[in-house]
Amino acid sequence: MCLGVPGKIIDIYEADGLRMGRIDFGGTVREACLAYVPQAAVGDYTVIHVGFAISQLSEEEAQATLDTLREIADLEEELGPEV
């Protein structure tokens, strides 16, 4: 299963002719291509999948998704590795 993870755009720039951004995932910052969300601006939230921003979402939607992902991680930690 593949997941798209929401993050906040903290910088936008061009690299090799592509619109790129630095995305903050709650303290972890990664690069992503923003070509598929040309209207996105610094401060917006976007869903990142394999290094590409694939959609925008509100801050509330992003936080709800991140909270759910944290709960999943906490549950996996509590239950241990799959046998």
Residue ranges of the domains in the chain? 5-79
Q: How much is the pLDDT for 69?
A: 85
**How much is the pTM?**
0.83
| pLDDT tens digits for range 45-75 | 999 999 999 999 999 999 998 888 888 888 7
pLDDT attached to residue 71 = 87
The topology (CATH level 3) of 5-79 is SH3 type barrels. (2.30.30)
Q: Which is it for the CA torsion 41, 43, 26, 59, positive or negative?
A: negative
User: Which residues lie closer than 8 Å to 37 by C-beta, 6 or more apart?
Assistant: 46, 53, 54, 55, 56
- Res. 16 pLDDT band, cuts 50 70 90: very high
CB atoms under 10 Å from CB of 51, counted, come to 11
Q: Tell me the Ramachandran region of residue 74: left when phi exceeds 0, alpha when psi lies from -120 to 50, beta otherwise.
A: alpha
Alpha helices in the chain (DSSP H): 59-79
pLDDT at residue 74, as a whole number:
81
Is residue 1 over pLDDT 60?
Answer: no
